[in-house]
Amino acid sequence: MNHKTETLDKQQGPNKRWIIMTAVFIATFMTSVEVTIVTTALPSIISELHGLAFQSWIMSAYLLTTAITTPIYGKLADMMGRRNIFQWGVFVFTVGSLLSGLSPSILLLIISRALQGIGAGAVMPLTFTIIADNFSFKERATVLAFNNTAWGLSALVGPLIGGFLVDQLSWHWVFFVNVPLGIAVMLFVWFGYKEKVKLQKKLAIDWFGILWLAVSLVGLLLAIQVLDNQSVMALGLFIIATVSLWLLVRRERHFSNPLLSPKMFRSATFSIQIITATILSGVLIGYQVYFPIWLQSLYRVSATTAGLVVTSSSVMWLIASFFVGPLLAKYVPKRIAIVLIILMLLGYVELIVAGKSFPVWAFYVIAMVNGTGMGIVISMNTILSQHLVLPTMVGSATSILTLGRSLGQTVMAGVYGAILNLMIRLNLHDGITFSQVNGVISSNHTHEVANRAMADPIILMALHAVFISVVVILLIVIVINWLDPNKKIIN
C-alpha cells in the first residue's frame, strides 16, 4: 500500500457488517429512487412552477453535478477515508432533497437538484467501494446482488410512490420522502461504521485535474442537451470538451497524485471493464425509453402496460446478478461478456427490420434478455474493476466506473433523441408536420389523432434508426471484449 495514502482498516466485526450493509442498502435505494420517483411528478412541477422551458434541467442538473463530482469523491475517499466522504455525501443529498421540496420557483428547484447531485456523486460510487472494503472477492458478487435489490425495488415502487404522493399530497413530497431516509443512513454510519485512517500530513489535491475534468464533462453534457436544435453551439461545446479532456490527460500524466491515475488504465482488462459498463449503460437507456414509445405510439398500449417492459428487465437484472459469482469462478470474464452481449444483439437486429406486426410479447422477451445480460456483465465489470487495481485505488476505480455508467446513459439519451428527431424531419412528406408526428407520439389514445396513417411509418423508421445505433455500439463492445488479453479465470 502506498505510504503517501491512508491505511483503511477493513476488519469490521461481523456484528458491524450488517449495520454497514443496511446503510448502504438504504443509500442505494435513496439515490436510485430519486430518478424514478421524480419523473412521475414532472407534469405537476412544470404546471405549478410554470417551468416548461426549463423542464429538462430538473433532471439534467442532478445528472450533471453527479457526473462531475463522482471521480472527485472517489479520489478523496482513497485519501481521507470512505466514512467521512460518504457521510458528507448523504448529508448534502438530504439537504438538497429538503430544499427541492421547499422550492417556490423553477430556478431554485434546479439549483436544489444540482445540490442533490453533488451529494449523490459521493453516495453512488462509495456504496460499491464500502462493499469492496468489507467483503472478500468471493463474497462480493453475492453482496452486490443483494444490494442490487435496492435498485430493483426503486424501479418497481418509485413510480407508484411518486404517483401516490402527487395525487394525495403534492409534488413537494416526492423530495421530502428522502429526508428521513438520509437521516437514517447518517445514524447507521455514525454508530455502526468505524474506520481507522491514517491521513497524509499534507493532502496534495489535483485542482487543475478537477478543473479540466469539470469543464470537459460540462461541455460534453451541455453539447448533448443542445445537439438537436443548436448544432453550432453543440459543435463549439464539443470542441471545448475535447480540448479540456486533452489538458486533463496531460495533467494526470505529470501530477504526483493525480485525480484519475493513469496507472489504473495500464491494465487493458480494467479499461475494458470501464468501456463495457459505459456502452451497456447507453444501451440500457435506449430500451428503457424507446420500447415504451414504440408500444404506446404504434401499438396504442397503455403507459402502464408499456412500462412493464422496463419492469421485466429490472426483475431479470436482479435474478441474474446472483449468478455472477459462480460464473466468474468457472469462466474467463471476456467469454461471459461476449456470449451475453451477442444474445442481446440478436434482439436488436430483429427490431431494425420489425414492422407493425412485430408481436408485443417479443419486446418483453428482448427486455428480459437485456436485463439478464446487463445484470451479469455490469455487475462483473464492477467487481473486476475493483479487483484489478491496488487497494489504495479502489475508491477511484469504482468512481470511474460509476461515472462511465452515468455518462453512458446521459450521452446516449441525447444521441438517441437527436437521431429520432433527425429521422422524423428527414421523412416528413405530403404536408405532415413535425408537430403532428409529435402529437401522435404524445397522444394518450383516448381519441383518434389526425394524420396517424402517415405518421406511423415515419415514427417506425425513426425507431429503426435508433436501434441501428444500438446494434452498432453493441458490435463495438463485442470487438473490444474480444481484444481483452486476459485468458484466465480471475480469482
Tell me the pLDDT of the chain (491 aa) as tens digits.
Answer: 333 333 334 444 444 777 888 888 888 888 777 766 776 666 566 666 665 556 567 777 787 788 778 888 877 777 777 788 888 998 999 999 899 888 888 788 888 888 998 988 888 888 888 887 777 777 777 777 777 777 667 766 766 677 677 677 777 787 888 888 889 888 888 877 776 656 555 666 777 888 888 888 888 878 877 776 677 888 898 899 999 989 988 888 887 777 777 888 888 999 999 999 999 988 988 887 788 888 877 888 776 677 677 778 878 887 888 888 889 888 999 999 999 999 999 999 999 988 888 898 999 999 999 989 998 999 899 889 888 888 777 777 887 888 888 888 878 877 888 888 888 888 887 777 777 776 666 555 544 555 677 778 888 898 999 999 999 999 999 999 999 998 887 76
Under 8 Å CB-to-CB from 170, ≥6 apart: which residues? 44
- How would you write the chain as a 3-class SS string? CCCCCCCCCCCCCHHHHHHHHHHHHHHHHHHHHHHHHHHHHHHHHHHHHCCHHHCHHHHHHHHHHHHHHHHHHHHHHHHHCHHHHHHHHHHHHHHHHHHHHHCCCHHHHHHHHHHHHHHHHHHHHHHHHHHHHHCCHHHHHHHHHHHHHHHHHHHHHHHHHHHHHHHHCCCCHHHHCHHHHHHHHHHHHHHHCCCCCCCCCCCCCCHHHHHHHHHHHHHHHHHHHHCCCCHHHHHHHHHHHHHHHHHHHHHHHHCCCCCCCHHHHHCHHHHHHHHHHHHHHHHHHHHHHHHHHHHHHHCCCCHHHHHHHHHHHHHHHHHHHCCHHHHHHHCCHHHHHHHHHHHHHHHHHHHCCCCCCCCHHHHHHHHHHHHHHHHHHHHHHHHHHHHCCCHHHHHHHHHHHHHHHHHHHHHHHHHHHHHHHHHHHHCCCCCCCHHHHHHHHHCCCCCCCCCHHHHHHHHHHHHHHHHHHHHHHHHHHHHHHHCCCCCCCCC
Quick check: 98 and 176 in contact, CB under 8 A?
A: yes
Classify residue 430 as left (phi > 0), alpha (psi -120 to 50) or beta: left
C-alpha span between 272 and 56 (Å, rounded): 32
Amino acid at 321: S
pTM confidence score: 0.76
- Our measurement of the distance from residue 456's CA atom to the centroid of its chain's CA atoms, rounded to an integer in Å, reads 31
Structure-block grid coordinates of residue 368: 428480459
Q: What's the pLDDT score for residue 5?
A: 35
Q: What's the pLDDT score for residue 228?
A: 67
Quick check: 200 and 79 in contact, CB under 8 A?
A: yes
Q: What's the pLDDT score for residue 447?
A: 45
Quick check: 73 and 85 in contact, CB under 8 A?
A: yes
Residues 474, 343, 317, 260, CA torsion sign: negative
Q: What's the pLDDT score for residue 294?
A: 86
